[in-house]
Amino acid sequence: MPLYTLTTQAGVLSHEAKAKLADDLATFHADYSGVPKEWVQVVFQDYAAGNGFTAGKPSAVAALILQIRTGRSAEYKRGMVQRLWEFVQQATRASDNQIVIGVNEVPPSQAMEMGKIMPEIGK
């Protein structure tokens, strides 16, 4: 944790764009959260053209799901998703109605990282 999963249509992000975005996300996350950059995992899931839909019509949906530990304030998470939106939109050039971002929270006791049960936030 954190685990970023960015799902986009194949071809939207080049290898170079993915590498840049992964590094931008890791750097941003470490700065924003205070956790080591080494904890930040990013996986890009590409789907074939024709597998994304907005309002029931074909669309290059870009969906970012972020898994973090519970314990952060609403303000912290609000600020985070707003910044993530900018990263995703800049990299994918998707329009506002094609992007969705959600933060899933997992209690530290039920997540592992680096071979250890995650500590509570701030511990």
Residues that bind a second copy (CB under 8 A): 1, 3, 5, 7, 15, 18-19, 22-27, 36-48, 50-59, 61, 63, 65, 67, 74, 77-78, 80-82, 84-85, 96-107, 109-115, 117
Taking the complex as a whole, the smallest distance from the CB of residue 122 to a second copy amounts, in Å, to 18
User: CA angle 114-91-36, nearest 5°?
Assistant: 20
Looking at the Cβ atoms of 50 and 122, the one nearer to a second copy is 50
**Is the Cβ–Cβ distance between 110 and 68 less than 8 Å?**
no
Q: How far is CA 66 from the centre of its chain?
A: 4
Looking at the Cβ atoms of 115 and 122, the one nearer to a second copy is 115
Nearest alpha carbon to residue 113 among 81, 68, 72:
68
Taking the complex as a whole, the smallest distance from the CB of residue 111 to a second copy amounts, in Å, to 5
Question: How would you classify the pairing of strands 116-117 and 57-58?
Answer: unpaired
The dihedral through the CA atoms of 84, 86, 90, 95 has a sign that is positive
Looking at the Cβ atoms of 116 and 122, the one nearer to a second copy is 116
Looking at the Cβ atoms of 51 and 122, the one nearer to a second copy is 51
Taking the complex as a whole, the smallest distance from the CB of residue 121 to a second copy amounts, in Å, to 15
